[in-house]
Structures are given as C-alpha cells and as structure tokens.
Amino acid sequence: MLTGRSFIVLNFCVFLLLIFSVWALPNGRFVLVLTDPDAAPDYPLSVIANAGGAFVAQGRFPWMTVAHSEAPDFAARLASAGAALVLNHQLALGCLEGNKG
C-alpha cells in the first residue's frame, strides 16, 4: 500500500509526465523527427520527403532532424512515412547544440 508521502511523489511524477507530454506534442510548422538509429544516414531525409516536408537541420545524431511543412497533418504523415517519434521542435535546441564545432 502507498504511504502518504509515496502517494504525493507518485502524483507529482504523473503531473510532470502530463506537462512534458503536452509540451512535447508537435505543434506549428516545425517538428523534431526521430527515426530508426540503425537505418541508413539518408533515411530521415526520405521520411521527411515522403511526408511532403522540407529538411531544416540535423541534430547531434543523423537520426534526429528538424523538418518543416505548412500542412496541418504533417506530424501524422511523418509517422506514416516511418518516423519513430515526432516532437515539438523546441526540444531540438539541445540536440542541435552538440552539432556546432
């Protein structure tokens, strides 16, 4: 059985997870696209192209890319084209920092 303290910690963790989930949802025209790390280096580009988007930047790893599209269903089309995960592009800021010199 959960003690009072454990219950509070558990609820706090669930609350943080919900906040992060809402923040990570893709919104806007730019998204962070995560693909299979074991795939060929050009695979993320083909996923973006098949979804009708444009490549913007590559992250620290080749399977992390930022893409752009004006289409409102771009995130769903990326998922259908083979993206493992599509997130809010603001999460890419830390990923792109490692790509600099």
Q: Find the CATH number of the domain harbouring 70.
A: 3.30.70
Q: How many domains does the chain have?
A: 1
Cα 60 to the center of its chain, rounded Å: 14
Which letter does DSSP use for residue 89 in this model?
Answer: G
30 in a structural domain: yes
**pLDDT (tens place) for every residue of the chain, 101 residues total:** 678 888 888 888 888 887 776 666 777 788 999 999 999 989 999 999 999 999 998 888 889 999 999 998 999 999 999 999 898 877 666 555 444 44
Tokens standing for residue 54: 């444009």
Cβ atoms of 4 and 12 within 8 Å: the answer is no
Which DSSP helix (H) or strand (E) runs through 88? strand 85-88
Residue 21 lies in a domain: no
What does the alpha-carbon distance between residue 3 and residue 55 come to, in Å, rounded to a whole number? Answer: 50
Domain that holds residue 78: 26-97
For residues 37 and 76, give the distance between their C-alpha atoms in angstroms, rounded to a whole number.
20
pTM confidence score: 0.70
Residue 72 lies in a domain: yes
